[in-house]
A = this chain, B = another copy of it.
Amino acid sequence: MSINAFGHLFRVTTWGESHGDAIGATIDGCPSNISLDAEDLQVWLDKRKPGTSKYTTQRRENDEVEILSGVFDGKTTGTPIQLLIKNVDQRSKDYSDIKEKFRPGHADITYYLKYGNRDYRGGGRSSARETAARVAAGGVARAALKMLLPDLKITGYMLQMGKHRIDRDSIDLGVIEKNPFWAPSQSGAKKFASYLDELRKSGNSVGAIIEITASGVPAGLGAPIYAKLDTDIAAGMMSINAVKGVEIGEGMSAAMLTGSANADEIILGNYGLEYKTNNAGGILGGISNGADIVCRFAVKPTSSILTSRQTITKSGDSTEIVTKGRHDPCVGIRAVPVGEAMLACILLDHFLLHRGQQGKNHGSIG
């Protein structure tokens, strides 16, 4: 029921505003005796950190995470883990001229209407800054998964920026870390670069599609109907700021398939159960089937842009707005580690839930 939390047994509540003193995450339900120190989290935060290339916001945040509780002598204690990241470079004066105006496409206006206040310094909770806390929490989940599901591997990348989509046949996971877009293709990365350079110079921004996959997921995670594994993935990804669509496996394109084309045929391979295709994205009836989990989400373009747009003021007057500040021309880039973190949290949570209800899988083949 908690409005700012996600997860069932591994439960994460994030807190903090873009321009407040600090942001962080409270994690409840992490198993005990997981090796964990701040360094284990920092590596993931460094991936998401702003200011690492000219393609992300120039705000400089070290995103140094402190573990305030729940870890003793280098191991989790089983009690709540508090993660704190101080805000360092909250240059809020940049926002003063938009204090009375609402940014089109931004949560300014809905926050104001609902809550009657406005943290004009920079989006408050609706800022992409909030996602740092998720990445830190995802680091805790990964530490636990390393012990509980050592074969699990989560990989995220940018599949599409604007109209430029990387062809599935040219995907090379080996190059993801070698370009500033987490693109799984060097030629794709080059196209993204020249396209974004142009947009950035014209004071505009653009959307993107991120794909996150997980291999080594055991069959049996999830549950029928309401807390299906895919339901929780959909909720988790859609809860990331700026996400407007979520797909599992074939996703929206499943509409175009016939039943015979869609059904992933089943075989027994050398290592057990296998599927000839993976249209299902690793999930059938809300429960993992042992194939790779494949999900995608679309991130809309940043709404804080230098292009002038028509809007109104709090007093109801018509006006124009240009947002200066420091913003990501494609916030989708930094969404890659965020999506990975969310999937890590969700898979750990479902592993614990499954272990709770069932202990282990009750069915076997052969």
What string of 1s and 0s marks CB contacts (under 8 Å) between A289-315 and chain B?
110000010111111010101111011
* Residue A31 is within 8 A (CB to CB) of chain B in the complex: yes
Which A284-342 residues sit within 8 Å CB-CB of chain B?
A: 284-290, 296, 298-303, 305, 307, 309-312, 314-316, 318, 332
**One of A43-51, A74-82, A149-157, A175-183 at the interface:** A74-82
Minimum CB–CB distance for A94 against chain B, Å: 17
Q: For the complex formed by this chain, how many copies does it contain in all?
A: 4
Please give me the 3 A-B residue pairs with the lowest Cβ-Cβ distance, nearest first. Answer: A107-B285, A356-B356, A116-B362
Fill in one digit per residue for A180-221: 1 if any B CB lies within 8 Å of its CB, else 0.
000000000000000000010000111111000000000110
A29-B2, A204-B260 known; A267+B310 contact, CB < 8 A:
yes
Question: In the complex, which range does the number of interface residues on chain A fall in?
Answer: 35 or more
Q: Are B114 and A358 in contact (CB under 8 A)?
A: yes
Contact of A303 with B262 in the complex, beta carbons under 8 Å: yes
- CB neighbours (8 Å) of A70 from chain B are 15, 17
- Give A232-250 as 1s and 0s: 1 = Cβ < 8 Å from B's Cβ atoms: 1111011101001111111
Given A77-B119, A245-B248, decide whether A256 and B353 contact each other with a Cβ distance below 8 A: no
